[in-house]
Each structure stands twice: as C-alpha cells, then as structure tokens.
Structure 1
C-alpha cells in the first residue's frame, strides 16, 4: 500500500520514492528548484502570511496555530485540489509532503498529513 509521508525539503531524496509536493507558501531558502525535485508546489495550501508570522515556529503556540490553520483550510479550495492530487497519486506511488521548517513536529505539513490521513481513511 502506498503511503502519505512528510519530509523536510532539505533532506536529500533517497531515490525519489514518490510524488513530491511542497506545502509551504514561501519558497524555502537555500534550495534550488532543481535540487528540490518537486512534482508540484501547492503554495496556496500553506498557512497565510499573517498566521505564519504570528506562529513564528514557536512550539508553545503550536496548538493555537493548528486550530487557526485548520480554520483557514476549511475555507480554502486549494485543500480540495491537494486532496484530489494526493488521492490520485496514492493509487500508484507514495506521496511526500515537503516543508522547509527546522522543527519536524511543529509545522503545517504535520497538520496537513493528519487531516489528509483522516479524510482519506488512513487513520
């Protein structure tokens, strides 16, 4: 069975083992588009600039960030597009949601994966 995974975009791809989607609104610093090995940049699904700046990757704000981000996603048509793309790709390959944040537990990709897993019946 194919898997939905998350990974830092700075992690060197082992063997490009899946369909790679960047879920950051801003392009990650210090990585070229060639080295990113992206299949799709879903920038519209990333947190709004206001929310991203408010959060500032502060783990103490993560629970509130998660609530606010999920509220943004509820009204965001880009989430439907992401869900459709992920569903289609999972039929034949793994899907990797890529993010630039240093914190591997407190970022929007973690929230997106949880949400997609729930909506796709993976959990």
Structure 2
C-alpha cells in the first residue's frame, strides 16, 4: 500500500491518490463543500483525551505513539482502519492533517500501522 503524508494545503497530491483527512476536529473556516480532500475519517484519529494529553506533553512522542497504537485496537478505530485499507487497495493514500508538524503527529504512527498490516 502506497501511503504519503501531508499537511492540508501544503503538500502536492500524488497523481491518483485518495486524500483522507485523519484529524478528529473539522478545521475552522472550511466548508464541507469546498474541502480539499476526498474523505474525512475522524474515527481513526486519536481520541480527544489523547490529543489533549499530547498537546500538553509535546516532547513525549514515543509515549503518544504507544497510547495511540493502543487506541487503534478498539472496535471504532479498527473499523476506520479497515476503511483506510479498503481505500488504499484501489489507489495510493494521502493521509492529511492540519497539524503544523507532520513528523510529530498521528500520521507517521498511522502509516506504520497500515504498512505493518499490508
């Protein structure tokens, strides 16, 4: 499965890629009709509690990744992961976030989980 990571509005979309926003919150100022992505899978994003914890502990990337991987085992996250795998079967995936620092977001963890399952 080919997976690229990007920040909404910054990264060029690979040709034919399915663009999936994987943030829990809908970004302010963007209408659903003008969204620059194909799907929004908020169910695969970190929980509000984990998101807030990580915001308060930005240097704890390893602990965030551990907790997020744990969350990804629950049924809601598993269903969202199955949807991402389904989307990635027919086209390359581009996982998107509005976060400023892609390397310290959920995106690398999510990509690693999807690639390990492929």
Give the aligned partner of residue 82 of structure 1. Answer: 81
Give the aligned partner of residue 22 of structure 2. Answer: 23
Give the aligned partner of residue 10 of structure 1. Answer: 9
Unaligned residue ranges in structure 1 (runs of 5+): none
**Which deviates the most, 21-30 or 88-97?**
88-97
- Measure how far apart 1:33 and its partner are: 3.0
Structure 1 pair 118–15 and aligned structure 2 pair: CA distance change class (3 A): closer
Structure 1 pair 8–35 and aligned structure 2 pair: CA distance change class (3 A): farther
Q: Is the partner of 2:53 in helix, strand or coil? A: helix
RMSD value, Cα: 2.3
1:54 aligns with 2:53: yes
- Measure how far apart 1:56 and its partner are: 0.5
Distance 2:93 2:13 in 1: 14
TM-score (norm 2): 0.82
Distance 2:26 2:33 in 1: 13
Distance 1:29 1:119 in 2: 33
Paired residue total: 118
Unaligned residue ranges in structure 2 (runs of 5+): none
Structure 1 pair 14–81 and aligned structure 2 pair: CA distance change class (3 A): closer
Q: Is the partner of 2:72 in helix, strand or coil? A: helix
Q: Is the partner of 1:60 in helix, strand or coil? A: coil
